[in-house]
Amino acid sequence: MSSNSGTSTPSATPGSPGVVSVRRGFLSGHGWGEVIGVAPFLIFAVLFLVVPTLYLAYGAFVGRDGQFTLQNIIDLGTPQIINSFWISIRVSAASAILGALIGLILALAIIRGRLPSGIRSAVMTFSGVASNFAGIPLAFAFLSTLGRLGLVTVILKTVFAFDIYRAGFNLLSFWGLTLTYCYFQIPLMVLIIAPAIDGLRKEWTEAAETLGATRFQFWRYVGLPILWPNLLGTLSLLFANAFGAIATAYALTGSSLNIVPILLYAQIRGDVLQNPGLGAALALGMILITAVANVIYLVIRTRAERWLK
């Protein structure tokens, strides 16, 4: 019910039909009372959200001598840093794609699979919690499961005589981290895609059936095309989500898997790069990547909603 009006159209104040107020400008007509109410919020946002980030980004362009420079950005081109970004991109992409795929299939199963109704709400509730699971406890949980002494590792070894570590698996590795990340990526996907799947109205399936389509044809021509923007957008969101995560990786792989957040962490802690400006440049790189990925998600989502009026 909000409207950005700077015009002088008389309009009813929302929630009270019949009360007419003339809005002439952004603040005119409003007392200081309203602004006071929102002030703490905005002040906080500026001081503790917007400015620190911008300040940090700005710091990327400041050299050791305090002058404006592009050197930090150029210095990002070292093999160590490029490698770090590359690993981050690969882990984030892998966990995003896996999370999106598995999450989609899981969501389809609980929503359209005609399972008992309790299952859907149980899964959704679980997903609500699990999607916030990233962090140290998650790493511990997976160590207890697939670590060298983990429950599943031991069971596979003793009961099925299959030593996964001998076969080349290692939890403390790229794929181990990806697998762990899926624990919060999959629920996040389920949460976000569920409303979109709900939006696939029953009548579309029935209409397609009366026109002769098989299930597969329905999904191919109608279902997936409708979901596609949402899928892409959420993929982007999952990517950003994984890219910015650190605690789980830190607890799991320590510094052995050099993703960007870990590199940044080391830099903040102990200036391992010997160059504060470079740290800021690193942060700038991270901000840009996550910001772009998030914006893609938001843009796609708003456009997809227009379709499905």
**Amino acid identity for residue 71 in this structure:** Q
224-244 vs 174-198: helix crossing angle, rounded to 10: 140
Least distance CB 82 / another protein (angstroms)? 19
Least distance CB 30 / another protein (angstroms)? 7
291 binding another protein? (CB under 8 A): yes
Q: Which of residues 131-150 bind another protein (CB under 8 A)?
A: 132-133, 135-145, 149-150
Binding mask 190-219 for another protein (x = CB under 8 A): -----------x-xx-xxxxxxxxxx-x--
Cα separation, 98 vs 92, whole angstroms: 10
Structure tokens at 16: 């009270």
Q: Applying CB under 8 A, which of residues 20, 22, 51, 70 lies at the interface with another protein? A: 51
User: 307 with 236: CB under 8 angstroms?
Assistant: no
Helix ranges restricted to H, the chain: 32-45, 51-59, 71-75, 79-112, 117-130, 136-146, 151-159, 174-198, 202-210, 215-218, 224-244, 247-253, 260-270, 276-307
Binding mask 162-191 for another protein (x = CB under 8 A): --------------------xx--x-----
* Phi and psi torsions of 26, nearest 5°: -65, -50
The single residue listed with the structure tokens 């059936």 is 209
Q: Which of residues 60-99 bind another protein (CB under 8 A)?
A: none
Least distance CB 271 / another protein (angstroms)? 12
In the bound state with another protein, the residue whose beta carbon lies nearer, of 43 and 74, is 43
Structure tokens at 53: 């980030």
Q: Applying CB under 8 A, which of residues 74, 119, 163, 303 lies at the interface with another protein? A: 119
Binding mask 4-43 for another protein (x = CB under 8 A): xx--------xxxx-----x--x---x--xxxxxx-xxx-
Q: Applying CB under 8 A, which of residues 172, 251, 272, 296 lies at the interface with another protein? A: 251
Least distance CB 179 / another protein (angstroms)? 9
**Sequence-distant (≥ 6) Cβ neighbours of residue 176 within 8 angstroms:** 142, 146, 169, 170, 252, 253
